[in-house]
């Protein structure tokens, strides 16, 4: 396999955006092309990630490709629920690593606000096992992750206050990120006093419904040298999946797919101790309990200690490993297909030391992205190095 690097990244403003899907995608594509110093003509393959369940375009790849200037470059459309962005990155990565193309762009775009909240929750609830769980019981994603939170609290003593601290950190970081959906800090008291959505998860434990896009341009080592491009290298790739039916899971205190994906990525990147060998991580914090479980599943702390890890500030600036420095899904926003690529954007910016007020201290020049689809139905982990 050939070495592959990220040579250009772009990200739109997340939030309730009064633009078309195509215009939204172009915001990220335009930034990524300028970042890499490339033109549309030089791109050989376009991979469009779009879940598309809340938008008016049922087949979004073609109009997005046309508007962004990539006619004739594919397109490939991928979908893996909330991990769609990582699936797009993986598709572009493997196309280059295998020698089929030298330059590819991964685009993730979503217009989530085209439907009301109730409809959005109902559509999201179908992402697990429709006939058994949603059709029979009406389970939505806040309810799924509430099951995880309740199980974690019962087994390990995790508290609502510890989950609230995850939200406070996310909002504090997002307040310094001009592209974030929420740019206002909150207090633990504000989080704890917000209304319950699905016990024990409250309003401020949940990520928002956001529009947004992100794009990343990947290139082969040969092309990077030929064009003298600045690259952040993809050093490790891991992926896994789990059962669609939650009743077939071993337990609800973690995500098996995350554990397996991280081990695969760590092995490829020769990571033995992620805390010592990584400078930054982005994890899939669609709900605050998801970030706490991610600490454990990714090996940042032992199982059951995720709540205390957050409480001690180990995932904050100055802690053992800064997590979700741009605000995470929780406060930056979660336009499904854009999320995984926005993580690549964030880690790339950090490793280039272009994160401004949110810049972390670098020792290893290595970072991690962790992107989950559904309730652990899919998981991708990437290790990046500069």
Q: Verify whether residue 82 is a known catalytic residue.
A: yes
DSSP string, 21-66: HHHHHHHHHHHHHHHHT--GGG--EEEEE---TTSS-SSTHHHHHH
Q: Is residue 45 part of a domain?
A: yes
Tokens of 280: 């930054």
Q: What is the pTM of this model?
A: 0.96
Q: What percent of the chain has pLDDT over 90?
A: 87
**pLDDT range class, residue 115, cuts 50, 70, 90:** confident
Q: Is residue 375 part of a domain?
A: no
Q: Is residue 279 part of a domain?
A: no
Cis status, amide bond into 372, omega within 30 of 0: no
**pLDDT range class, residue 134, cuts 50, 70, 90:** low
Residue 93: domain span: 4-115+209-227
Residue 32 pLDDT more than 90?
Answer: yes
Identified catalytic residue from 82, 206, 286, 301: 82
Residue 152 pLDDT more than 60?
Answer: yes
Give the DSSP H or E segment for 232: strand 232-241
Q: Is residue 52 part of a domain?
A: yes
Identified catalytic residue from 148, 152, 171, 334: 334
Q: How far is the CA of 41 from the CAs of 4, 33, 105, in angstroms? A: 20, 11, 12
Q: What is the pLDDT of residues 41-82, one digit of tens each?
A: 999 999 999 997 777 777 899 999 999 999 999 879 999 999
Give the total number of structural domains in the chain: 1
Tokens of 359: 């810049």
Q: Is residue 381 part of a domain?
A: no
Q: Is residue 106 part of a domain?
A: yes
Whichever domain contains 53, its CATH number is: 3.40.47.10
Q: Is residue 87 part of a domain?
A: yes
Q: Verify whether residue 171 is a known catalytic residue.
A: no
Nearest alpha-carbon partner for 286 in 242, 336, 321, 241: 336
- Structure-model confidence comparison of residues 299 and 116, the more confident one: 299
Q: Is residue 51 part of a domain?
A: yes
């Amino acid at each position: 396999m050939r070495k592959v690097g990220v040579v250009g990244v772009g990200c739109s403003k997340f939030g309730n955006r009064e633009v078309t899907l195509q215009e939204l995608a172009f915001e990220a594509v335009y930034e990524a092309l300028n970042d890499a110093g490339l033109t549309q003509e030089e791109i050989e393959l376009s991979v469009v990630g779009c879940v598309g369940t809340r938008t008016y375009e049922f087949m979004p790849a073609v109009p997005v490709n046309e508007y962004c200037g990539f006619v004739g470059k594919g397109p490939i459309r991928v979908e893996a629920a909330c991990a769609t962005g990582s699936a797009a990155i993986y598709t572009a990565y493997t196309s280059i690593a295998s020698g089929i193309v030298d330059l590819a762009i991964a685009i993730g775009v979503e217009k989530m606000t085209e439907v009301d909240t109730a409809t959005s929750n109902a559509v999201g609830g179908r992402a697990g096992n429709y006939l058994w769980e949603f059709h029979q019981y009406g389970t939505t994603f806040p309810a799924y992750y509430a099951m995880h939170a309740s199980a974690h609290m019962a087994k390990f003593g995790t508290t609502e206050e510890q989950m609230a601290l995850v939200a406070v950190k996310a909002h504090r970081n997002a307040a310094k990120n001009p592209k974030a959906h929420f740019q206002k800090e909150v207090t633990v008291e504000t989080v704890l006093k917000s209304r319950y959505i699905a016990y024990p998860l409250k309003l401020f434990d949940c990520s928002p419904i956001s529009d947004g896009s992100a794009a990343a341009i990947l290139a082969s080592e040969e092309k990077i040298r030929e064009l003298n491009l600045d690259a952040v290298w993809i050093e490790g790739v891991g992926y896994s999946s789990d059962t669609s039916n939650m009743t077939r899971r071993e337990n609800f205190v973690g995500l098996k797919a995350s554990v397996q994906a991280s081990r695969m990525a760590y092995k490829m990147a020769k990571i033995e101790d992620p805390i010592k060998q990584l400078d930054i991580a982005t994890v899939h914090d669609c709900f605050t309990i998801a970030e706490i479980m991610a600490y454990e599943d990714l090996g940042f702390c032992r199982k059951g200690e995720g709540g205390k890890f957050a409480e001690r500030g180990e995932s904050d600036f100055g802690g053992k490993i800064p997590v979700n420095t741009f605000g995470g899904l929780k406060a930056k926003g979660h336009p499904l297909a854009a999320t995984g690529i926005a993580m690549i954007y964030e880690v790339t910016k950090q490793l280039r030391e272009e994160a401004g007020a949110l810049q972390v201290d670098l020792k290893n020049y290595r970072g991690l992205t962790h992107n989950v689809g559904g309730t652990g139905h899919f998981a991708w982990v990437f290790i990046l190095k500069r």
